[in-house]
Amino acid sequence: MKFRKTGSSESKVSLEMTPMIDVVFQLLIFFMFTFKIVTVEGEFAITMPAAEQGSAAPTSENITALPDIQVRLSASPTGELAGIQVGDNQMQSLDQLAQTLKEIVGDDPQLASDVEMQIVAPDHLKYGFVVGTINAAAKVRIQKIKFNPPGS
């Protein structure tokens, strides 16, 4: 008769793969069912205010349109901002640009959303200054921004 050792330290541990695969499939199915597909960009749920009694519909007579605002940025050879020009006005900082845009557009959000701003920037200007120009326009609620090539 052969006796086995009962207190052997060389016991082998085996992993059962079937329950692990079942759990992975259950997690996969759970995440598939709870995944929400993002709506397409550009679809906005907007609630428009009702028209007031006696208010005139916008016509060409009661809307004063501003001409397009052209902002020319100039750069130093290292790509730093050297100057900003709006029309004939020269300025040195983006804060001055924001103040000038505020003076041009005023406090009317409808007028600000109708005006178009054109940015002319050299190719070697650092991108952060272009973003700062866009942020200055956003502060006064200018929404239409167009980029022109430096030669125009």
Could you give the C-alpha distances from 116 to 68, 99, 120, 129, 143, in angstroms and in order? Answer: 5, 17, 13, 19, 7
Model confidence pTM above 0.85? no
81-86 and 144-148 strand pairing: unpaired
Distance CA 131, CA 58 (A): 33
Among the ranges given (30-34, 51-55, 117-121), the one the predictor scored with the smallest mean pLDDT: 51-55
Per-residue pLDDT at 140 exceeds 60: yes
For the chain, the structural domain boundaries read 69-148
pLDDT in tens, 78-90: 888 888 888 888 8
Distance CA 83, CA 94 (A): 9
Among the ranges given (36-40, 103-107, 108-112), the one the predictor scored with the smallest mean pLDDT: 36-40
CATH fold label, 69-148: Nucleotidyltransferase; domain 5 (3.30.420)
pLDDT of residue 86: 87
**Average pLDDT for the chain:** 79
Strand pairing partners for 86? 71, 89
* Sign (positive or negative) of CA dihedral 144, 148, 150, 152: negative
DSSP string, 122-138: -TTS-HHHHHHHHHHHH
pLDDT of residue 137: 84
81-86 and 89-91 strand pairing: antiparallel
Confidence band of 32 (pLDDT split at 50, 70, 90): very high
Per-residue pLDDT at 49 exceeds 60: yes
Strand pairing partners for 81? 75
